[in-house]
Structure 1
Amino acid sequence: MKVGIGCDNNAFDLKEVVKNYIEECGHEVEDYGCYSQDAIDYPDVALKVSKGVSNGVVERGILLCGTGIGMCIAANKFPGIRAALAHDVYSAERAQLSNDAQILTIGSQIIGSEVAKKVVSSYLNSNWSGGSQRKVDKIVEIENEYFTEVSKELSSKSCS
């Protein structure tokens, strides 16, 4: 599996640990940054990973920031993306099994590297089998309706 990974400067060290772990498990990694502990805004990285997932460059994504919350919010703004925050093995598994989450977010100030590896392993080793398809379909319907409405509103305002 090809996995996209990205972080802000708060999670750089943990991203490197997770990236190496994913590669050790036999997966290919596309690193979307950041590449040092220099300050970077997490929405910029979340956008890159979300685009990679949406465009099929990577099959799944992992985003890390201080709490994982900001990355989760930012990734979920991208049309078609379902990102889930997880800091334990069960939540990571359910992100995939119940919600078909393409992106997992993790907080580097919440969990340590050994737990992060277990969380990532649980996520990557779980596969969507349509378990809650009806609910996921409803999420997609809501997204389609409201993204379309907002898009139409913005278009009509720019033409005035």
Structure 2
Amino acid sequence: MTNKRIVLSSDHAAIELRQQIVDHVTAKGWEAVDIGPKAGESADYPIQGDAAARRVASGDCTFGIILCGTGQGIMMAANKVKGIRCGVCSDVFSAQMIREHNDANMLAMGARVIDSAKAIELVDAFLDTAFGGGRHAPRVEMIKALEG
């Protein structure tokens, strides 16, 4: 992988967890592009999800990690951007499968759903799993065709 840049963003519900993940991915050798709000700032998850997704869709960043209270709202916003395949996960199996089967390029998580240890575990599962290709590739192409 030539581009080891990962964008991270969140709304105000997940600032502390996002900052812990920034430190973790940096320690793993990724260049973290943190575009989320600072402590004490309010931020709307649709704006934050869209901004992160555009960084991934443009090729500026290979992956994105986004967070809000549940992960659901920010994931929905990110998936509106053409080229984005984002899933919300709270278990390792799902984080692996969205990469291996769906070639997901963004991971969403809920700061009010999981703790920091689980979030780090999910990030590692997501980043350490490659797209399987093979029988999954035609299905990913079908998803891309839905974008219009």
Same fold (TM over 0.5): yes
Match of 2:7 among 4, 7, 15: 4
Runs of 4+ in 1 over 3 A off after TM superposition: none
User: CA offsets per residue over residues 1-37 of structure 1, 9 Å max, x none?
Assistant: 2111000000001001111111111111001111223
Return the letter of the residue paired with 2:17: L
How far apart in 2 are the matches of 1:14 and 1:22?
Answer: 12
Identity in percent: 32
1:129: Cα distance to partner? Answer: 3.1
Return the letter of the residue paired with 2:141: D
Where does residue 18 of structure 1 map in the other structure?
21
User: Is 1:87 matched with 2:90?
Assistant: yes
What number of residue pairs does the alignment pair up?
Answer: 144
**TM-score, normalised via structure 1 length:** 0.87
1:87: Cα distance to partner? Answer: 0.8
Gaps of 5+ in 2: none
**TM-score, normalised via structure 2 length:** 0.94
127-136 or 93-102, which deviates more: 127-136
Where does residue 31 of structure 1 map in the other structure?
34
Which one has the bigger helix percentage?
Answer: 1
Where does residue 80 of structure 2 map in the other structure?
77
How far apart in 2 are the matches of 1:129 and 1:3?
Answer: 21
User: CA offsets per residue over residues 106-151 of structure 1, 9 Å max, x none?
Assistant: 000000000100000000011113141121111111222xxxxxxx
Gaps of 5+ in 1: 145-160
